[in-house]
């Protein structure tokens, strides 16, 4: 079975939020992604609502959840405080009940997620949140670096999956460090399989570096947003989605 493609729509929402109104329409773009082969949609709402807003999450839930063969993945910091009309990440997830919730240890002042959990510090906080979300029938994934100790702790705190942070892999692409970083992820994937953890991956994967990464054993899903949105400017969204799917089905 090929690796699933979940398209992250944050950058579509970011463009929309630069003007008044609803253009581009996030929900319409989600439909286009689905029509051209995406296996799911990912969003990462933040308290400042700089891109995806709470209303988007609710609308996407209404669109996707009745479609049983498509996944709705909501990412975010489970410890983020509410702000303004933002109800708090966990409250929002409790309301919409996505197929998957990916917990990410980012802060408001980060441009984007740039590191995985340090569960030696946060396991006691994260474990009860995972237990609660799983009790609601939501699959839980933790955003992680390819570090053996941390992956073992992810299993201990009850995660169903981990999402390997692929930013360093993308940064090493085309350099003498490429193979070394790839092997770190390869070994992390083997460990996840050994522990019974499902494996996702995401961050800065693109049309150049995805094919190699897709050979990682046990890779169930990749979440791609920024690069796919950039490619859509040149190729069109439908062609971009199809290009990423072709790589994943050929791996």
User: Which of 29, 36, 71, 75 is the catalytic position?
Assistant: 75
Query: Is 185 designated active site?
Result: no
H or E, element range at 72: strand 71-76
d(C-alpha 221, C-alpha 166), whole Å: 13
Q: Annotated binding site: which residue ranges?
A: 8, 19, 46, 51, 112, 204, 225-226
Q: Which residues pair with 224 in a beta bridge?
A: 7
Q: Which helix (H) or strand (E) holds 146?
A: none
* 159 and 123 Cβ atoms separated by less than 8 Å: no
Question: 78, 69 in Cβ contact below 8 A?
Answer: no
Which residues define the annotated binding site for 3-amino-2-oxopropyl phosphate? 8, 19, 204, 225-226
Of 29, 36, 44, 185, which one is the catalytic site residue?
44
Q: Which DSSP category does 236 fall into?
A: -
Q: In the annotation, is 44 catalytic?
A: yes
| Structure-block tokens of residue 15 | 């463009």
Q: Which of 163, 185, 203, 221 is catalytic?
A: 203
Instruction: Cite the annotated binding site for 1-deoxy-D-xylulose 5-phosphate by residue number.
Output: 46, 51, 112
Residues 6+ away with beta carbon under 8 Å from 206: 170, 224, 227, 231
DSSP character at residue 197: -
What is each CA distance from 131 to 46, 77, 103, 125, 210, in whole angstroms?
A: 22, 16, 13, 11, 33
- Give the active site residues: 44, 75, 203
């Amino acid at each position: 079975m090929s690796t699933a493609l979940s398209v992250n729509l944050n950058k579509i929402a970011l463009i929309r939020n630069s003007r008044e109104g609803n253009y581009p329409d996030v929900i319409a773009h989600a439909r286009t992604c689905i029509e051209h082969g995406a296996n799911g949609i990912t969003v990462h709402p933040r308290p400042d609502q700089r891109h995806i807003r709470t209303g988007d999450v609710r609308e996407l839930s209404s669109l996707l959840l009745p479609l049983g063969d498509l996944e709705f993945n909501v990412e975010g910091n489970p410890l983020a405080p509410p702000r303004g009309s933002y109800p708090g990440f966990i409250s929002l997830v409790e309301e919409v009940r996505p197929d998957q919730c990916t917990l990410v240890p980012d802060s408001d002042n980060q441009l984007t997620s740039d590191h995985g959990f340090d569960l030696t510090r946060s396991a006691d906080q994260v474990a009860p949140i995972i237990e609660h979300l799983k009790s609601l029938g939501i699959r839980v994934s933790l955003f992680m670096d390819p570090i053996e100790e941390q992956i073992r702790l992810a299993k201990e705190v009850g995660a169903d999956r981990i999402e390997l942070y692929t930013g360093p892999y993308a940064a090493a692409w085309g350099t003498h460090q490429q193979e070394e970083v790839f092997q770190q992820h390869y070994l992390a994937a083997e460990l996840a399989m050994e522990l019974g953890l499902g494996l996702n991956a995401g961050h800065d994967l693109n049309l150049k570096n995805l094919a190699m990464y897709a050979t990682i054993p046990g890779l169930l899903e990749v979440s791609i947003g920024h690069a796919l949105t950039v490619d859509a400017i040149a190729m069109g969204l439908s062609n971009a989605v199809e290009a990423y799917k072709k790589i994943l089905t050929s791996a």
